[in-house]
Amino acid sequence: MTMTLEKTVLDMTATELRDVNTTLQAAAKAQANAAYEIINPRGSHAMACGLDGPLSVTIKGSTGYYCAGMNKEATVTVEGSAGPGVAENMMSGVVTIEGDASQYAGATGHGGLLNIKGNASSRCGISMKGIDIVVHGNIGHMSAFMAQKGNLVVLGDAGDALGDSLYEARLFVRGNVKSLGADCIEKEIRPEHIAILKELLEKAGADAKPEEFKRYGSARKLYNFNIDHADEY
């Protein structure tokens, strides 16, 4: 039997953003394991940021930039689209965007799952450090730039310069890749990668088979400066 948490509703026509975030952060810090619903978000910026504990937050509408930044343990769902920098520097937990995400979604993320049901703009997963990102649509140019660790899964297409200067992050794309960035190459997809993909697709509720994807990763030629590769830096 699954228990459903009773939701506390915060209406942003009556409550200021600062007070909304203060309420959420206090509940998270208290390990309240409570549920909140934010109505009339009106594209506000930096909503549900810095949550440091088990909390469920549903935002009924679209948000501005830096939503759910620095998330740790909390589950944040945006029933709309999100502006630039959603889930930036995320540590753990789950952030779900029901619509589209603007540029640099999941930037510098260390852990957790960022689940984007629509498309993501440019620089998705830039400098990712362990986060898992699943994009059900397409991603823009320069995605996974300098990505260090983690998994980026794209069910649609990828724009120019995918994985430019990346390190050990794994990139999985089902659709077409317009171009690969410096030091990014297509790699063999082995059974262990199929297993990783299967788990992530199931977690994200994505309708796709792991065998449909191609894997991309680092050629490892730019780890140390080499004069022969100077034109690639």
Q: Report pLDDT digits (tens) over 189-215.
A: 999 999 999 999 999 999 999 999 999
pLDDT of 13: 96
Categorize the per-residue pLDDT at 229 as very low, low, confident or very high, splitting at 50, 70 and 90: low
Q: Report pLDDT digits (tens) over 85-109.
A: 999 999 999 999 999 999 999 999 9
Within a 10 A sphere around the Cβ of 178, how many other Cβ atoms? 12
Q: Are strands 214-218 and 184-187 parallel, antiparallel or unpaired?
A: antiparallel
Please tell me the pTM assigned to this model. Answer: 0.93
The sign of the dihedral angle between the CA atoms of 59, 62, 64, 69 is positive
CB 24 within 8 A of CB 58: no
Q: Domain 2-221: which topology? A: Pectate Lyase C-like (2.160.20)
Q: Where are the domains of the chain?
A: 2-221
